[in-house]
Copies of this chain bind each other. A is one copy, B any other.
Amino acid sequence: MLRTLNPLLHSELRLAIMSILLGVESADFTFLREQTGSTAGNLSVQLDKLASAGYIAVEKSFRGKMPCTTCSLTAEGRVAMNEYVETLKQYLKL
């Protein structure tokens, strides 16, 4: 029987966010919105879900006078992504 795919990661936008974060130390809200092509609302919601799960850390600060939301992977998030990728490979025989 096939393993199950972590449903928190098996969502296009959340997977995109996590994939981007895998490759950088951190990324801010605007960057993630541009890279994923998502709306701000959708991005906000999905970042919340990933943060609630402990998969990403979200830090709110100011860059000059403008608010800035910076996101980064947690160790837990990295583990979850590795597992997800391994499961996908099982599905797709990669």
Contact = CB atoms under 8 A, between A and B. Distances in A.
Interface string A53-94: 000000000000000000000000000000001001001111
Contacts of A91: 15-16, 19
Interface residues of A, number: 22
A24 interface: no
Chain A binding site: helix, strand, loop or mixed by DSSP? helix
Nearest to A19: B91
B94 A2 contact: no
Interface string A1-32: 11011010010100110010011000000000
Determine how many copies of this chain the complex contains. Answer: 2
Interface of A: 1-2, 4-5, 7, 10, 12, 15-16, 19, 22-23, 34-37, 85, 88, 91-94
Contact of A12 (B5, B22, B94): B5
Given A2-B36, A85-B92, A10 B7 contact: no
